[in-house]
Amino acid sequence: MTFEPDILIRLVESIEGRDFVTGLCFSRHAPRYRPCIYKRLGYEIDQNEMRLIDETYYEYPEGEIFEVEGSGMACALIRTKVLETVLKQKGLPFSPIIGFGEDLSFCIKARQCGFRLYCNSDIRIGHVGTVIIDEEVFKGNYYGNFKQYQSSAEDQP
C-alpha cells in the first residue's frame, strides 16, 4: 500500500465523533480496479435461499466523509471500544464469515453490534500491483471497462 505522509493525522481528524473511518483504496484486480468500499454488505434471504450482498460503492461522494456498510482494511482507524464490543458479542473480530474475507467480516460484525462505518474519500491509498492502483487508475478504467463489464454481466443469465 502507498500512503500520503500525513495519513495518520488526517485519519485522527476524520474519526472525530465516529468509531471507524477508512481511507479510499482500490482493488488491484483488472479490469475494474473497483473501490474497496461497499454501499450494501451482508446477506439476504430470498425464497429460503441465502445470498451474499457486496454492492461496491462505485460512484462515491468525492472529498467527503460518508457512511459505508463495509470497506477493505488497507488503512482504517478503529476505536478500541469497537474491537472490544465485537469480541464480546460476536467472537474474534476478524474471523471470516462464510463468503467474506476478514476485513468485510469485521465490518458486518461491527454493524451488527450497532457501529457505523465511514470512509473519507479525501484520504487516498494506493494499492501496489504491477502499477500503483489508485483513484486515477480507477477513474481512467471506470467509464470504459466497468460500464462494458456491467453491460456484459447484465446480458448473462
Domains and CATH numbers, the chain: 7-141 (3.90.550.40)
> Which cell goes with 86?
465485537
Write down the residue that cell numbers 430470498 correspond to: 46
pLDDT values of the chain reduced to their tens digit, one per residue, 157 residues: 999 999 999 999 999 999 999 999 999 887 678 999 999 999 888 888 888 899 999 999 999 999 999 999 999 999 999 999 999 999 999 999 988 999 999 999 999 999 999 999 999 999 998 889 898 888 887 655 555 555 544 444 4
- CA-wise closest residue to 61 among 120, 141, 144: 120
DSSP 8-class letter at 125: -
Beta bridge partners of 118: 21, 67
Residues 114-144: tens digit of each pLDDT: 999 999 999 999 999 888 989 888 888 765 5
Residues 52-61: tens digit of each pLDDT: 899 999 999 9
Write down the residue that cell numbers 462464510 correspond to: 98
Q: What is the pTM assigned to this prediction?
A: 0.86
Question: Residues near 106 by Cβ (< 8 Å), separated by ≥ 6?
Answer: 73, 86, 93, 94
Single-letter amino acid, residue 116: R
Helices 102-112 and 80-90: angle between axes, nearest 10 degrees: 90
